[in-house]
Chains A and B, each alone.
Chain A
């Protein structure tokens, strides 16, 4: 929730000149565009924004921005982001992840990040597949999706990140489609402005390993009702919709995590008194 209005910025001010590794047509290009547009709208200087990620196609995004970035190890980006935000509450912190990085190897951190409710924005580019390792099923992959690693499909029910976020205490829950630049930009702006932990799941097609996901363009639709502040109601809606409802689905009122580091002039010598006898 850092709104440091300065001189006006353009989306291009937030983009680096590093060429993405993504395949042509990858939904993540659109997410990068929406992110930089959202940053321009927020007006926070790139030096006051940190983009943190783990491992996977989507996690390559920090270097494609002109912000401070951290491309960490697989699954631990939320922890990196949490430490940074507690240490530097003045920064706008984004954690950018994918369905494998965020929900499989990083699943436990997802629960606790929602529960901890640190004021940062978590964007997961969900393409329901491990793309960087060339096509294995992820926790959000359909049970019958055939692959070399899971011939005939996993037979496992995909899990529902939005409902898990709600149950775990996330303070803002939204779903977007990467192709909807306008909607995604608006939602990212709202997510940053909303206090506490904001979770935005972006359906971002993998055109290489999941060409069927091109259909998301026509399947997704803007939710017909306003966001609620009642988590039970939000959960019911999310669990009973067609999975392609987009927009802000829940805006909570939980108090964000309060502890943070400050510049204090108190000397450590005061801590020594308890030891003297």
Chain B
């Protein structure tokens, strides 16, 4: 521990900045997060906005830490309100710690009771008046200064971020911003106990600042995607907004389709043309796509569909996370339509998992669904610079036509048959959603139907998925038996990992099995990973327990099993997982 760290220094702090639309709460959070990255810290920021898209209230929920973080905290040490208008709408999302501090502008009155009860420390800072003392001064920049003062974030990194962000507004604006921050820092000094973060010496490596939606886009392009077609939908739109200019830079193209029915078919058409292709959507869009998902499966055209899950069914809660699209992703379609379903385990893992999905789709000539969700898709996170991934999408392309002619759907051992790309003379065939012969000619014969269904199943069942199918980790020393196993999937791996770290400090051994590959279900690898697990806690963010049912449908879970599940909008957090385990241990 460095000597200069104050005695009350901590590893992480969570704070919320709230204000009505235009007050700059989100900008303040973004500046602080980036400055934390420049300071060698880690962090995560989620936005919370009311149902109105613009002009309503907004909250920046930020967690800064000296160690990598994969999830938001469930409680907040600090809440700063630029104003209180409708802020109580967020009360559920930002419960305060008992030593928490609430800061508001006295001109706006005190915090609503729903946000801060009588036991919570409150402080008043005249944000508006202080900002008004400078021409062009902004309250949100005073707030930035308050956080800088309270956390010990190096001010020079904050001012350099402000200089970048305000570059287009001129020197005067930058100088005013800097002075506002200084005023905030001075005010913070009078607030009593602070929340200083201890800077770890080892944490000074290169950082990336990225959202899950951006990481999915980048992973896809790294994997070989050069065509996208999609229809805007919350919370997936940022995938498209990132991909549109990015694809143009690498020779690709994105088409904004008229609806999701068109998106998926455009993507199938482009991929039929030999270009790895992707679409991104959320639950309602995926529901529209399932018919053509079957077309991609039957015609064996590789495509990648990203579903950034939100609360459902129907319109549900577009801005909040849930894991309730598992069933539609795994089963959604008429007929037997095998597909790949993968789920990123963190924001950083969106990069790898999207890349892997392209590889799997292309290698097996089949649709692959990436089940991301709002909690990682829209979270902006500071991560270590990610490693390059070796594999790139490799489609088995027809090179030479034999004398007997070409059979697009030839019955190979692996089930994977060479695919002709238009332009290849002698490779002409008709891709068809009708049951077809090996040559692609429509057929209603039993032998063709069985052969082709078997072939499509075979290519997925026999594929080597390596070690990527799940993250299996242990919080206790090698050779020590973990008393508990947390079994989860996708983004909840973050909360589970953090719970494990906490429980390790209490001497409770926990093993994590977090599935990245949902479908196909690798029964043997799964059961091997659970070998010796006596007490298994299944954790998922659904009302009905879709993941639990899926596991039960695919294997017999041995040992004692408990199931912790809840729908959105509140994320399942590490504390809740800890509580489940502690209670189980005590029982």
Interface residues of A (CB under 8 A from B): 18, 45-48, 50-52, 60, 62-63, 66-73, 75-88, 90-91, 108-109, 111-112, 259-264, 266-268, 270-272, 275-277
Contact = CB atoms under 8 A, between A and B. Distances in A.
Interface stretch (B74-82, B118-126, B128-136, B420-428): B420-428
Nearest to B253: A259
Contacts of B356: none
Contact of B252 (A45, A52, A83, A261): A261
A145 B224 CA distance: 52
Interface string B260-304: 011111111111111101000000000000011011000100000
Given A50-B422, A68-B428, A91-B273, A261 B433 contact: no
Contacts of A63: 430, 432, 440-442
Contacts of B433: 71-73
Given A73-B295, A83-B229, A48 B423 contact: yes
Interface stretch (B6-14, B201-209, B464-472, B572-580): B201-209
B262 A112 contact: yes
Nearest to A67: B428
Interface string B427-453: 111111110000011100000000000
Given A79-B265, A83-B227, A260 B292 contact: no
19 contacts: A47-B422, A62-B430, A63-B441, A68-B430, A72-B433, A73-B433, A77-B265, A79-B257, A79-B264, A83-B229, A87-B226, A87-B275, A91-B423, A259-B248, A261-B226, A264-B252, A266-B249, A268-B222, A275-B210
Contacts of B156: none
B38 to A, nearest CB: 6
A84 B430 contact: no
B227 to A, nearest CB: 5
B385 A88 contact: no
A260 B253 contact: yes
A70 B423 contact: no
Contacts of A85: 269
Contacts of A109: 258, 261-262
Interface string B213-237: 0100010011000110100000000
B551 interface: no
B250 A268 contact: yes
Contacts of B428: 46-47, 66-69
Contacts of B271: 83, 87
Contacts of B422: 47-48, 50, 68, 84, 88, 91
B8 to A, nearest CB: 28
B109 interface: no
A268 B425 CA distance: 31
B273 A88 contact: yes
Contacts of A266: 249-251
Contacts of B226: 87, 261
B441 A83 contact: no
A271 B221 CA distance: 9
B410 interface: no
Contacts, number: 190
B269 A261 contact: no
Contact of B218 (A79, A264, A268): A268
Contact of B269 (A51, A70, A267, A272): A70
Contacts of A76: 261-262, 265, 292
A53 B291 CA distance: 16
Contacts of A84: 269-270, 272-273, 422
B430 A69 contact: yes
Contacts of B385: 276
Contacts of B294: 73
A5 to B, nearest CB: 16
Interface of B: 34, 37-38, 206-210, 214, 218, 221-222, 226-227, 229, 246, 248-255, 257-259, 261-275, 277, 291-292, 294-295, 299, 382, 385, 420, 422-434, 440-442
A261 B218 contact: no
B211 to A, nearest CB: 10
A26 B295 CA distance: 28
A54 to B, nearest CB: 9
Contacts of A262: 251
A91 B274 CA distance: 12
Contacts of B291: 73
Nearest to A45: B425
A79 B227 CA distance: 14
Contacts of B262: 76, 78-79, 82, 108-109, 112
The 8 closest A-B pairs by CB, nearest first: A264-B251, A83-B269, A83-B266, A69-B430, A87-B270, A79-B265, A84-B269, A80-B269
B253 A86 contact: yes
A65 to B, nearest CB: 8
Contacts of B214: 275
Given A47-B422, A268-B221, A275 B251 contact: no
Contacts of B275: 87-88, 261
B404 to A, nearest CB: 15
A48 B291 CA distance: 28
B424 to A, nearest CB: 6
A69 B429 contact: yes
Given A70-B431, A79-B262, A275-B209, 5 more contacts: A70-B430, A82-B262, A83-B265, A90-B423, A108-B259
Given A70-B430, A79-B262, A261 B441 contact: no
A272 B218 contact: yes
B452 to A, nearest CB: 15
Contacts of B206: 276
B426 A47 contact: yes
Contacts of B425: 45, 47
Output the residue of A47, A51, A268 with the most chain B CB within 10 A: A268
Contacts of B295: 72-73
Contacts of A67: 428
Contact of A261 (B34, B253, B268): B253
A172 B34 CA distance: 53
A192 to B, nearest CB: 16
Contacts of A261: 226-227, 251-253, 270, 275
A125 B38 CA distance: 63
Contacts of B250: 264, 266-268, 270-271
Nearest to A267: B250
Contacts of A264: 250-252
Contacts of B430: 51, 62-63, 68-71
A80 B422 CA distance: 14
A205 to B, nearest CB: 24
Contacts of A73: 265, 291-292, 294-295, 433
B273 to A, nearest CB: 4
B34 A86 contact: no
Given A47-B423, A79-B265, A86 B272 contact: no
Contact of A68 (B209, B277, B429): B429
Q: Which of A75, A83, A109 has the most CB of B within 10 A?
A: A83
Contacts of A78: 262
B423 A271 contact: no
B249 A270 contact: yes
B362 to A, nearest CB: 14
